[in-house]
């Protein structure tokens, strides 16, 4: 009886997700997953793109030039793989997120007890993708209604207005003043550009309008002052303050 209940529950969840993913035009596939050491290790990223295409999705790699009709990043889904493996079992989940980092779909767990990583990952990956095929994806032609990320932590500020860019460091965003978008993480946020590429990682502090910030190897603070966000850090004993455009 318990197994029957779980099976029905998965069907209901998958049906609900299927209604959502059909609103998105394409899937962006990363070249590297966080739990792996190298790009396309064990060919998992190639397999991701292949399987999404086989399941009916239009798919692109994250660094691939894409046609103009897919230029709006909020019309796209962003693929990821969550590794929840234990000591004896490899367990993977396929996830699809919107442009705000909200999970639109998460597959059932793909599992393997193989000891060889390559065999185990490929076996678990294939099983996880069965949920993707069950979606029977078909683009509906209806524009996806992206929603801002809901943050549970009371100390986290919710910024409702877009910050204008007037003084950007070219290493932080593009010269055209590309907006950075906040994706929630367990410790705070990560700021991504429209590629999407992680530009900066933010860590919560006891102050709602202040984060510990990491950009590459540079550590500093991201601070809200007069409705403007500033990345501040020391360089050669000199305090540098850079205005940053952020949308939470």
**Domain edges within the chain:** 2-134, 148-248
Q: Which of 106, 107, 131, 110 is nearest to 119 (CA)?
A: 110
Q: What does pLDDT average to over the chain?
A: 79
Tell me whether the omega of the peptide bond preceding residue 100 falls within 30 degrees of 0, making it cis.
no
**For residue 188, what are the β-bridge partners?**
203
pTM beyond 0.75: the answer is no
pLDDT at 145: 60
Answer yes or no: are the C-beta atoms of 244 and 168 closer than 8 Å.
Answer: yes
**In angstroms, how far is CA 206 from the centroid of its own chain?**
25
- Helices 44-54 and 117-134 pack at an angle, to 10 degrees, of 20
Which parts of 143-217 fold into alpha helices (H)?
Answer: none
At 77-131, the pLDDT tens digits run 999 999 888 888 999 999 999 888 888 899 999 999 999 989 999 999 999 999 9
At 171-212, the pLDDT tens digits run 444 333 578 888 888 788 888 887 778 889 988 887 778 888
Phi-psi bin for 123: left (phi > 0), alpha (psi -120 to 50), beta? alpha
Phi-psi bin for 76: left (phi > 0), alpha (psi -120 to 50), beta? beta
**CB-side exposure of 216: number of CA atoms within 13 Å?**
5
Measure CA of the first residue to CA of the last residue in the chain; give whole Å. 44
């Amino acid at each position: 009886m318990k197994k029957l209940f779980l099976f029905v529950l998965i069907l209901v969840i998958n049906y609900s997700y299927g209604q959502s993913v059909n609103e998105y035009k394409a899937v962006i596939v990363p070249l590297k997953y966080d739990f792996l050491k190298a790009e396309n290790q064990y060919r998992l990223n190639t397999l991701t793109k292949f399987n999404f295409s086989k399941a009916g999705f239009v798919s692109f790699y994250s660094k691939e030039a894409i046609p103009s009709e897919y230029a709006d990043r909020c019309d796209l889904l962003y693929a990821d793989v969550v590794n929840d493996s234990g000591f004896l079992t490899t367990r993977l989940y396929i996830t699809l997120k919107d442009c705000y980092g909200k999970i639109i779909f998460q597959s059932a767990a793909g599992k393997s007890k193989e000891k060889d990583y390559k065999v185990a990952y490929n076996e678990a990956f294939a099983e996880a993708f069965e949920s993707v095929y069950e979606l029977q994806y078909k683009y509906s032609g209806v524009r996806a209604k992206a929603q801002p990320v809901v943050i549970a932590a009371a100390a986290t500020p919710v910024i409702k207005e877009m910050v204008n860019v007037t003084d950007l460091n070219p290493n932080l965003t593009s010269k055209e003043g590309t907006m950075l978008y906040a994706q929630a993480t367990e410790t705070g946020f990560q700021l991504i550009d429209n590629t999407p590429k992680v530009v900066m990682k933010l860590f919560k502090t006891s102050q709602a309008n202040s984060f510990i910030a990491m950009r590459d190897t540079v550590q500093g603070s991201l601070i809200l002052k007069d409705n403007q966000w500033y990345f501040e850090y020391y360089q050669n004993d000199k305090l540098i303050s850079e205005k940053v455009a952020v949308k939470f």
